[in-house]
């Protein structure tokens, strides 16, 4: 085990797509179990972890709106999808041995606790993993923005944005094979260059409150632990 983690409290942003595995839709138990194992390992290290999970493996509010649903209705559907993912992740984490709480921005007391900032912080201080579902509870805001907001509310040291690419690239690597990864970039450069790191509202919130973001590849086993240990993994977005 490494000596000391570089961060004591982190906000981990997981996309819904991370839970798909190879099946193309929904939740793949083996994918959730692998992610839960990595989270449990850093949690056992003593790191306080709050997780914001997306719902794109079921539905995206923006896409559903473009296909004819009212935007508010579509966003509410997306929020409910994040709750499904949060429950799946909770089950996998508890099977791995972690004590967890699912917290939702929309009240559904039979299956989760409502978001109360002080209670969430207390859960973290008591060594519980907290899974934050339901986005911000308001339409027109993405789960990226929810991650930025919750990260500031719980006073996280950093936002860890788990993706399927190694970090931030100067161009879209899917279009430009010679695109280069940028190990460090400023918030303003992300915004001015229109880089698809997080949405502009999330980046602006982090910039205004000096909350750093690390983008890393979750598909590489052990990367989460490497990032938290302070290794130069992925891309850092800061001032």
Residue 3: its pLDDT value, please? 66
> Rounded mean pLDDT of the chain?
94
Residue 1: its pLDDT value, please? 45
What percentage of residues in the chain have a pLDDT greater than 90? 84
With a CB cutoff of 8 Å and minimum separation 6, the contacts of 21 are 28, 30, 31
Domain boundaries, the chain: 9-238
Task: Write the CATH number of the domain with boundaries 9-238.
Answer: 3.40.1160.10
pTM for this prediction:
0.94
What percentage of residues in the chain have a pLDDT greater than 70? 99
Q: Is the pLDDT of residue 115 over 90?
A: yes
Ranked by mean pLDDT, which of 22-26, 58-62, 155-159 comes out on top?
A: 155-159
Residue 88: its pLDDT value, please? 97
Q: Supply angle C-alpha 158, 63, 105, rounded to 5.
A: 45
Gap between the Cα atoms of 160 and 151, Å rounded: 10
């Amino acid at each position: 085990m490494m000596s000391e983690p570089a961060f004591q409290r982190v906000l981990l942003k997981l996309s819904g797509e991370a839970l798909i595995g190879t099946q193309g839709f929904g939740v793949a138990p083996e994918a959730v179990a692998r992610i839960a194992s990595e989270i449990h390992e850093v949690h056992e290290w003593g790191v306080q972890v709050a997780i914001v999970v997306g719902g794109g493996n079921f539905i995206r509010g923006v896409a559903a709106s473009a296909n004819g649903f009212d935007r508010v209705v579509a966003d509410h559907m997306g929020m409910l999808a994040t709750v499904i993912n949060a429950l799946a992740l909770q089950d996998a984490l508890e099977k791995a041995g972690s004590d967890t709480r699912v917290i939702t921005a929309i009240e559904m007391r039979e299956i989760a606790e409502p978001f109360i900032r002080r209670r969430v912080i207390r859960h973290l201080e008591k060594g519980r993993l907290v899974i934050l579902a339901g986005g911000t509870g308001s339409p027109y805001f993405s789960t990226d923005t929810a991650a930025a907001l919750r990260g500031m509310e719980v006073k996280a040291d950093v936002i860890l944005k788990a993706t399927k690419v190694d970090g931030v690239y100067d161009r879209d690597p899917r279009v430009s094979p010679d695109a280069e990864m940028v190990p460090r970039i400023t918030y303003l450069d992300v915004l001015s260059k229109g880089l698809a790191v997080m949405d502009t509202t999330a980046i602006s919130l982090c910039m205004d409150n000096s909350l750093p973001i690390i983008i890393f590849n979750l598909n590489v086993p052990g990367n989460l632990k490497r990032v938290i240990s302070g290794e130069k993994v992925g891309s850092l977005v800061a001032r």
